């Protein structure tokens, strides 16, 4: 599952973080900047259980180092070819979704990208066979462009950010972040899952633009 925000995100359906900012080059190089917010606005969850993070902080950082792509939201376009809708700034690909030529997934992705100036990722370096399922996308640095995401009412589900749990799924299947039985995202390893929780703890709703990459769901996530 490729996430275009929680939280990001992406994010109508979304609740934005209190003090968004960003750093990162369009070539995908890792950044090191973090962003903090008040505990009242973005309180981290206190979790337990297998692999659970049991700390509660008064400030919440973004994952570090950041893995993000910065872009000009006024210059993005969407193009379709051979089952792929690609959102690009010039030749720089921001995100892609897999859908047919009459599907509105491409327009959803374009509308989402225009709302922000940066898309970030957790887990792009994983080597699993179903790699996309372990990549989480989130969006940062709102552009102020209030686009309408088509059919967004069908994309979103709420969760309790104060009840997020990080645990090992066992059997080498990776880690996950969930609210009770509501699994929000799976990750390759514990460090990625804890970074995912940092992001998810800033929001209370997650949204997906569903698409298919062969047999593997390749969802864009936003909040």
Residue 4 domain-assigned?
no
Residue 23 domain-assigned?
no
Domain tally for the chain?
Answer: 1
Residue 13 domain-assigned?
no
Residue 215 domain-assigned?
yes
Look at residue 176 in the predicted model and tell me its pLDDT: 97
Tens of pLDDT along the chain (223 residues) come to 343 433 433 333 333 343 333 333 232 222 222 222 222 222 222 222 223 333 334 454 899 889 999 999 999 999 999 999 999 999 999 988 888 999 989 999 999 999 999 999 999 999 999 898 999 999 999 999 999 988 887 788 899 999 999 999 999 999 999 999 999 999 999 999 999 999 999 998 898 887 655 444 445 666 5
Q: For residue 38, what are its two tokens?
A: 């008040």
Q: What is the DSSP string of the chain?
A: ---SBBTBSB-------SS------TT-PEE------BTTTSPPPP--STT------SB-PPPSSEEEEE--GGGEEEEEETTEEEEEETTEEEEEEE--TT-SHHHHHHHHHHTEEEEEEE-TT---TTGGGG-EEEEEEE-S--PPPTTGGGTEEE--GGGEEEEE-STT--EEEEETTEEEEEESSHHHHHHHHHHHTT-SEEEEE--EETTEE--EEE-
Range of the domain at 170: 30-222
Residue 68 domain-assigned?
yes
| Residue recorded with tokens 């000009």 | 72
Look at residue 46 in the predicted model and tell me its pLDDT: 26
Look at residue 223 in the predicted model and tell me its pLDDT: 59
Residue 138 domain-assigned?
yes
pTM over 0.85: no
How many Å from the N-terminal Cα to the C-terminal Cα in the chain? 15
Residue 82 domain-assigned?
yes
Residue 186 domain-assigned?
yes
């Amino acid at each position: 599952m490729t996430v275009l925000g929680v939280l990001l995100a992406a994010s109508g359906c979304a609740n934005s973080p209190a003090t968004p900012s960003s750093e990162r080059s369009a070539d995908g190089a890792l950044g090191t900047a973090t962003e903090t917010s008040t505990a009242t606005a973005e309180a981290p969850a206190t979790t337990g259980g297998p692999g659970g993070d049991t700390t509660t902080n008064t400030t919440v950082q973004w994952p570090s180092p950041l893995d993000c792509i910065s872009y000009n939201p006024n210059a993005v376009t969407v193009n379709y070819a051979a089952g792929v809708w690609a959102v690009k700034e010039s030749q720089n690909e921001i995100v892609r979704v897999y859908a047919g030529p009459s599907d509105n997934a491409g327009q959803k992705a374009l509308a989402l990208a225009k709302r922000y100036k940066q898309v970030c990722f957790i887990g792009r370096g994983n080597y699993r066979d179903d790699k996309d399922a372990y990549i989480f996308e989130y969006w940062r640095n709102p552009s102020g462009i209030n686009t309408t995401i088509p059919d967004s009412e069908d994309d979103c589900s709420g969760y309790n950010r104060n009840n997020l749990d990080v645990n090992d799924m066992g059997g080498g299947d990776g880690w996950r972040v969930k609210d009770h039985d509501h699994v929000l995202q799976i990750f390759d390893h514990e460090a990625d899952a804890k970074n995912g929780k940092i992001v998810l703890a800033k929001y209370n709703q997650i949204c997906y633009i569903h698409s298919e990459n062969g047999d593997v769901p390749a969802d864009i996530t936003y909040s």
